Amino acid sequence: MAAESEHDDPFQQFLHQIGGKSNIHLISAASGPDGDTGVLQDFINDMFNNKEHEEATDCTGNSNGEIKIQTNVCSPEKSHTDRSEQSSTDHCSKREKPDPLKSKTVSSSRKIGGKQRAIKCSVIIFIFKRDYVCNKEYYVSLREILKDVRARIKRNKLQPALLGLVHTDCDPSESRDSVELLDRSMRSVFTDHPPQAIWTGCYVTKSPDLLQEIRRNACRAVKSSMSAASANATEEGIPLQMRPAVD
């Protein structure tokens, strides 16, 4: 019965279509002492109906069925700084028991080679806390995170679907302004991205209705990115003299 249920579940079909959870990349901003690692773990558990803890892998890991994560350490009014996996682990050891996700925080330093930094995923999900998106002091760091991702997917033949989520504990209707702000920021950075391949919304922990909306729009965004890639491939195969004129 479980196999039949998964077969009938559109989201499970979607995961199968993109090659599994290893083709999903989560990105957040650690703007406080505890960062957003707890939010990421809650999201993974909620989104994929995990009853047990599932360890995520860093974005440089091999495709092994695990979800890739990236946490950017930010400071007000400055470009986001990078935290290496080693320094993150050392920092945790001085406090309490290391968080499994925090120890997997990875560096997105521009000093790393292009091939290592490239994000080869079908779906990229940005998850930011509402206070972070609304705080003008973090505007620059938010833009830097988006621009860094733009550079890392620039050479991809298939542009990934982009989801922007604002995490809040209050009524989602009260976060409408922050969602719209994130949407504008993403679209102003990813100007060459297919419009329908970008979607923004709210995420509230353990909210079935919102999770269903996120799953549904993730499927739609991926379909749009795939359609755009197919159209581009068809266009490239048309002889030059038969292509439409460009003003």
Q: Is residue 141 very low, low, confident or very high in pLDDT (cuts 50, 70, 90)?
A: very high
State the pLDDT at residue 74: 62
Q: Is residue 105 very low, low, confident or very high in pLDDT (cuts 50, 70, 90)?
A: very low
Here the tokens at position 128 are: 């930011």
What's the pLDDT tens digit per position in 175-204? 999 999 999 999 999 999 999 999 999 999
* Single pTM value for the model: 0.74
- How buried is 187 (Cβ within 10 angstroms: 0-12 exposed, 13-18 middle, 19+ buried)? middle
% of the chain surpassing 70 pLDDT: 63
State the pLDDT at residue 189: 97
| Per-residue CA distances from 15 to 18, 33, 41, 138 (Å) | 5, 33, 19, 33
State the pLDDT at residue 75: 58
- State which amino acid sits at residue 31: S
Q: Is residue 174 very low, low, confident or very high in pLDDT (cuts 50, 70, 90)?
A: confident
Over 37-102, what HEC string results?
HHHHHHHHHHHCCCCCCCCCEECCCCCCCCCEEEEEECCCCCCCECCCHHHHHHHHHCCCCCCCCH
Give the orientation angle of helix 208-237 with respect to helix 37-47, to 10 degrees.
80
Domains in the chain, ordered, with CATH? Answer: 16-236 (3.40.50)
DSSP 3-state of 185: helix
Q: Is residue 109 very low, low, confident or very high in pLDDT (cuts 50, 70, 90)?
A: very low
Is the separation of the CB atoms in 80 and 140 below 8 Å? no
State the pLDDT at residue 236: 57
In degrees, rounded to 5, the angle at the alpha carbon of residue 21 between the alpha carbons of residues 20 and 23 is: 80
